[in-house]
């Protein structure tokens, strides 16, 4: 038992909520991977058995910092890259390493490696259960009457969705009429008026198509798809954040590699790749040989749009002296892609880049497992995953509807701040298609099956991947990216080695990086990038 004041903690009421508050020596030892409950409430994950060790290291760190010169401290702060502050023990150790000091030899060397168990079920700190909609939606000051109508609108939307879930379609239809009336009384140019109208529209379509329940969204032409995507890309930072953060992580993963191969799960217009090509061109020691395999839907009109994008990127690569080769893989669905189609070579370093694609594999065929398995077998140096951070895949329609309503309201809030047209309107239409898919469609047609970051973490770990933590350098760069967007509410946060981009306090997009480990070995801890 250490020198800490145990008398106070033992004398405290030891209320039932925190059994680990009383650190008396008679308490039985915790199971090795038990996370301390008290520090968890402060946002830190420390194993109960490691508490004394962490305290020792903190003390050691303080002694070292006191002895260091201001220059050393300033260097420590300026140059050191921090990772995953939630893991307090490793953060302290990394600082000790930065200051070129060995941490004190622990009394007992842990024989098991910290496993990343999910948070105890009663602490929901990282779940994204959405905030209830409120009346604070219009840009202008709302009158009390308008506020009331906004609240009413949300209430009726929910009641309508609930009626749909119950199958009470006559009631639902009546409520749609109510909703249209209410809509007429709010400012439909922004806030709840705008996003509300999209949800009302989606609900109507679902009602009209019941009981066949077979809403299929109309296909857009390739041109229309590109238009919407491109304006969404410009109007708000979500895609740029995804590309930017992914490129940084990929660049680091390719450090020291001469032959690299990026596999893009959804090439679209290839907007992500010029920046990476240029970054590789400027790499100290020179660029590697870069192969890019772009996956995308087959072009209906005889064009080979994948090849066209590839040619443009090849042109750019040539202009900056990067040896470059492109292959397009046409597939209507990601699950149709097999790894042999990617023609990977054993000596190349592979990066898998999935920007908002993996969730499409969570449908009835559950092809996610098959796909993660062949990704794993490719042994990529990095699997980059960017996904919408929300649970739009719940089996209960009302739950899904509620989460989507909050999620997209927040996203629309952020768009409110964008003023340039036609970017804003077309971006809204891009988002509307997502909303429609989540609300109207079922079965194979429903591809927008977003899940929370915590869920993806579990799934990827179970599939044999470990996190490659995104650190304070990536965080800082992402924040700089935001300065290009005038709206003041965008927010980058660090979440246990992942980065999220959100609006005010609500994360909307989560970026995480992963590396494959041999499945047969014991679960391993996370990997911090070399600084």
Partner 1 sequence: MMAGSNEINANEAKKVVPLHTWILISNFKLAYNMLRRPDGTFNRELAEFLDRKVVANTVPVDGVYSFDVVDRATSLLNRIYRCAPPENESTRQLGAGIIELEKPLSTTEIVPVILFFHGGSFTHSSANSAIYDTFCRRLTGLIQGVVVSVNYRRSPEHRYPCAYEDGWEALKWVHSRSWLLSGKDSKVHVYLAGDSSGGNIAHHVAHRAATSGLKVLGNILLHPLFGGEERTESEKKLDGKYFVKLQDRDWYWRAFLPEGEDRDHPACNIFGPRGSNLAGVNFPKSLVVVAGLDLVQDWQLAYVEGLQIAGQNVKLLFLEKATIGFYFLPNNDHFYTLMEEMKNFVTPSPSPSPSPSPSPVCS
CA–CA gap between residue 188 and residue 200 (Å, rounded) = 12
Helix (H) or strand (E) holding 319: helix 305-319
Closest separation between CB of residue 111 and partner 1, Å?
A: 23
| CB nearer to partner 1: pick between 291 and 400 | 400
Q: How many angstroms separate the CA atoms of 1 and 136, rounded?
A: 53
Q: Please, which residue, 276 or 511, has the CB nearer to partner 1?
A: 511
* HSE (side-chain half, CA atoms, 13 Å) at 526: 25
Backbone φ and ψ for 112, nearest 5 degrees, come out as -105, 155
Q: Which is nearer to partner 1, 114 or 287 (CB)?
A: 114
Report, in Å, the least distance between residue 206 CB and partner 1: 18
Q: Which residue, chain included where needed, has tokens 């609930």? A: 162
Nearer to partner 1 (CB atom), residue 37 or residue 117: 37
Contacts of 531 (CB under 8 A, 6+ apart): 79, 80, 81, 471, 473
Closer to partner 1 at the Cβ: 11 or 522?
A: 11
- Are 279 and 290 within 8 A, CB to CB? no
The token pair at 496 is 């246990």
The CB-of-14 to partner 1 minimum distance in angstroms stands at 9
CB 413 within 8 Å of CB 196: no
Smallest gap from residue 224 Cβ to partner 1 (A): 33
Of 4 and 374, which has the nearer Cβ to partner 1?
Answer: 4
Give the nearest distance from C-beta 253 to partner 1 in angstroms.
21
Our CB check for partner 1 shows the closer of 122 and 212 to be 122
Q: Which is nearer to partner 1, 70 or 256 (CB)?
A: 70
For partner 1, the closer CB: 17 or 214: 17
Closest CA to 228 of 437, 448, 436, 429: 429
- From the CB of 137, what's the least distance to partner 1, in Å? 8
Q: Alpha carbon 49 to chain centroid distance? A: 31
Using alpha carbons only, what angle is made at residue 392 by residues 386 and 397, rounded to the nearest 5 degrees?
A: 170
Closer residue to partner 1 in complex, CB, 306/435? 435
DSSP 456-475: HHHHHHHTTEEEEE--HHHH
Q: Shortest distance, CB of residue 32 to partner 1, whole angstroms? A: 18
Closest to partner 1 by CB, 272 vs 402, is 402
Q: Which residues contact 16 (CB under 8 A, 6 or more apart)?
A: none
In angstroms, the CA 281 to CA 319 distance is 10
Task: Please enumerate in sequence order all residues whose Cβ is within 8 A of that of 507, keeping only pairs 6 or more positions apart, or say none.
Answer: 128, 389, 453, 491, 493, 495, 500, 501
- Rounded CA separation 175/160 (Å): 6
Contact indicator for 381, 349 with CB cutoff of 8 Å: yes
Based on CB atoms, which residue is closest to partner 1, 59 or 377? 59
Closest approach, Cβ 339 to partner 1, in A, equals 36
Residue number, 164 or 463, with CB nearest to partner 1: 164
Rama region for 141: left / alpha / beta (φ>0; ψ in -120 to 50; rest):
beta
Work out how close the CB of 30 gets to partner 1 at its nearest, in angstroms, rounded to a whole number. 14
Segment (H or E) for 45: none
CB of 160 to partner 1, least distance (A): 11
Helix, strand, coil % in the chain, rounded to nearest 5? 45, 15, 40
Residue with tokens 């062949």: 374
Angle at 44 between CA 41 and CA 46, to 5 degrees: 110
How many Å apart are CA 285 and CA 500, to the nearest integer?
32
Cβ 249 to partner 1, closest distance in Å? 16
Residue whose CB is less far from partner 1, 65 or 279:
65
Query: Nearest approach, Cβ of 153 to partner 1 (angstroms)?
Result: 11
- Residue 522 CA to chain centroid, in angstroms? 26
- Shortest distance, position 71 Cβ to partner 1, whole Å: 11
Minimum Å gap between C-beta 229 and partner 1 is 28
Which SS3 state, helix, strand or coil, does residue 268 take? coil
Looking only at Cα atoms, what is the longest distance across the chain?
79
Distance CA 494, CA 498 (A): 6
- DSSP state for residue 186 in the 8-state scheme: S
């Amino acid at each position: 038992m250490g020198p800490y004041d145990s008398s106070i903690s033992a004398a405290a009421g030891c209320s039932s909520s925190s059994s680990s508050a009383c650190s008396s020596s008679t308490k039985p030892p915790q199971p090795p991977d038990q996370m301390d409950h008290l520090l968890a409430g402060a946002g830190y994950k420390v194993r109960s058995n490691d508490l004394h060790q962490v305290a020792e290291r903190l003390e050691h760190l303080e002694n070292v910092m006191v002895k260091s010169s201001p220059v050393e401290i300033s260097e420590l702060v300026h140059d050191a890259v921090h990772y995953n502050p939630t893991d307090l023990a490793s953060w302290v150790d990394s600082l000790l390493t930065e200051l070129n000091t060995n941490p004190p030899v622990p009394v007992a060397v842990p024989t098991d490696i910290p496993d990343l168990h999910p948070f105890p079920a009663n602490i929901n700190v990282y779940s994204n259960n959405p905030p209830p909609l409120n009346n604070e939606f219009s840009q202008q000051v709302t009158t009390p009457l308008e506020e009331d109508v906004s609240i009413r609108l949300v209430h009726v939307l929910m009641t309508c969705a609930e009626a749909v879930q119950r199958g009470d379609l006559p009631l639902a239809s009546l409520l749609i009429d109510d909703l249209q009336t209410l809509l007429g009384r709010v400012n439909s140019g922004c806030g709840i008026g705008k996003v509300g109208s999209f949800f009302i529209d989606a609900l109507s379509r679902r009602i009209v198509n019941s009981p066949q329940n077979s809403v299929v969204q109309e296909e857009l032409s390739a041109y229309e798809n590109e238009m919407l995507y491109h304006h969404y890309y410009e109007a708000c930072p979500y895609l740029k954040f995804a590309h930017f953060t992914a490129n940084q992580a990929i660049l680091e993963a390719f450090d020291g590699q001469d032959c690299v191969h990026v596999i893009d799960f959804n090439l679209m217009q290839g907007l992500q790749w010029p920046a990476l090509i240029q970054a590789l061109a400027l790499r100290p020691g020179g660029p590697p040989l870069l192969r890019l395999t772009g996956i995308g839907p087959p072009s209906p009109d005889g064009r080979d749009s994948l090849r066209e994008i590839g040619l443009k990127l090849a042109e750019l690569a040539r202009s900056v002296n990067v040896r470059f080769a492109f292959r397009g893989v046409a597939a209507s669905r990601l699950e149709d892609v097999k790894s042999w189609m990617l023609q990977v070579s054993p000596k190349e370093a592979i990066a898998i880049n999935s920007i908002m694609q993996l969730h499409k594999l969570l449908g009835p065929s559950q092809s996610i497992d098959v796909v993660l398995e062949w990704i794993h077998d490719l042994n990529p140096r990095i699997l980059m995953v960017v996904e919408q951070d929300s649970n739009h895949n719940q089996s209960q329609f009302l739950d899904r509807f509620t989460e989507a309503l909050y999620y997209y309201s927040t996203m629309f809030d952020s768009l409110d701040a964008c003023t340039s047209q036609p970017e804003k309107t077309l971006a809204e239409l891009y988002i509307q298609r997502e909303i429609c898919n989540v609300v109207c469609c079922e079965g194979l047609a429903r591809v927008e099956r977003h899940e929370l970051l915590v869920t993806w973490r579990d799934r990827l770990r179970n599939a044999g991947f470990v996190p490659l933590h995104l650190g304070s350098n990536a965080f800082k760069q992402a924040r700089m990216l935001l300065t290009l967007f005038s709206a003041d509410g965008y927010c980058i946060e660090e979440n246990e080695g992942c980065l999220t981009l959100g609006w005010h306090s609500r994360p909307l997009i989560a970026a995480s990086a992963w590396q494959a480990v041999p499945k047969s070995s014991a679960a391993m801890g996370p990997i911090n990038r070399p600084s």
